[in-house]
Amino acid sequence: MDKGSVLRVIEVTAHVRVGTSEIICEYQGMTEPNHMCQAPKPLQSGDLVTVKNVAPTSVLVTGPCGCDFLLWGRLSVGTAGEDTHTLDDVTVATTWDGLLDLVRQWMIVRFALNTDRDLWAWMFVIGSAAHLEYLAVAVLWVADQKPTSFNEYQPKKTLGQAARLVRNRDLLDPATVETLEKVAELRNSVAHRGATYGVPFREGDPSRGEYKGRHIFTDPEGLKQLIDDVDAATQVMGEWLRKAGLGTNAGTPA
Ligand SMILES: [Zn+2]
């Protein structure tokens, strides 16, 4: 089974079986993508899918609707008409490719982050929130006259809490404070509640993945707005800290 090869979906029940005239693979399950196509449609037996990526225990395929489905947890592989062979779990689990495949499957199955777009957008939310939190706490630390070393600085705040303190003490401009608050809300929506259903999906909670009224996983304008706001807030806080005599280029404030 190689990249670009076409497979026929044989069976979609508790497990998923796909194959060609020569080979048949059985998987534990399949993820439903966050469809961006005109006519979303689940995979059915008889559908033809194109292999997009092959990993030791999973395969990413493009379905008839044009969206990608991950077939995960490969159970067996066999030649058509012959006995199937179960995989050697030990070998799979001790190679980097095998381990990263297991990590990827875990992320996809747990959070439904099954496209690079979803995965990277999610990582940007988590990463940018951590970065803004660090800068906002540094602003508070400087405003408090550096009462302890930065690492011991109390109260150690979440981004949302730090944003509230910054607002109450009028330390930064309203637009920057709003960005901190909205990024904190966005981050919480995809780090806690989002984990229970699927991070990039809005079903059951329209506020999940939403930034300033736009869904960052499906609306490019929304993701663009987020990137621009994060850059602007980083700039403002970096400038504030430099003016206060605290360079942040070297990492942890001295
Ligand atoms: Zn689709």
DSSP for 28-64? EEEPPP---SSS-----TT-EEEEEEE-SS-EEEE-T
Question: Is residue 247 over pLDDT 60?
Answer: no
Does residue 108 register a pLDDT over 90? no
Q: Is the pLDDT score of 100 beyond 50? A: yes
CA of 52 to the centre of ligand 1 (A): 15
Compute the distance from residue 217 Cα to the ligand 1 centre, in Å. Answer: 15
Query: Over 70: is that where the pLDDT of 168 sits?
Result: yes
**pLDDT value at residue 85:** 61
Q: What is the DSSP string of 78-91?
A: EETTS-EEE--HHH
Residues 219-238, mean pLDDT to the nearest whole number: 97
Expressed in angstroms and rounded, the spacing between residue 67 Cα and the centre of ligand 1 is 4
pLDDT at 197: 65
Residues near ion ligand 1 (CB < 5 Å) are 35, 37, 40, 65, 67
Q: What pLDDT is recorded for position 96?
A: 86
Say how many Å lie between the CA of residue 165 and the centre of ligand 1: 44
pLDDT, tens digit, 9 for 90 and up, residues 21-77:
888 999 999 988 888 888 999 999 999 999 998 888 889 999 999 998 999 988 888
Q: How many CA atoms lie within 13 A of 195 on its CB side?
A: 6
Task: Give the DSSP per-residue string, 131-190.
Answer: HHHHHHHHHHHHHTT--S-GGG-SS---HHHHHHHHHHTT-S-HHHHHHHHHHHHHHHHH
Q: Is-contact 53 105, C-beta < 8 A?
A: no
CA-to-CA distance for 245 and 254, rounded, in angstroms? 10
Q: Give 105 Cα–ligand 1 centroid separation in angstroms.
A: 20
Give the pLDDT score at 111: 84
Check whether 251 has a pLDDT greater than 50: no
CA of 28 to the centre of ligand 1 (A): 21
**Report for 108-117, 160-169, 242-251: range of highest mean pLDDT:** 160-169
Structure tokens at 118: 């979803």
Ligand 1 centre distance from Cα of residue 207 (Å)? 22
Specify whether the CB–CB gap between 207 and 189 falls below 8 A.
yes
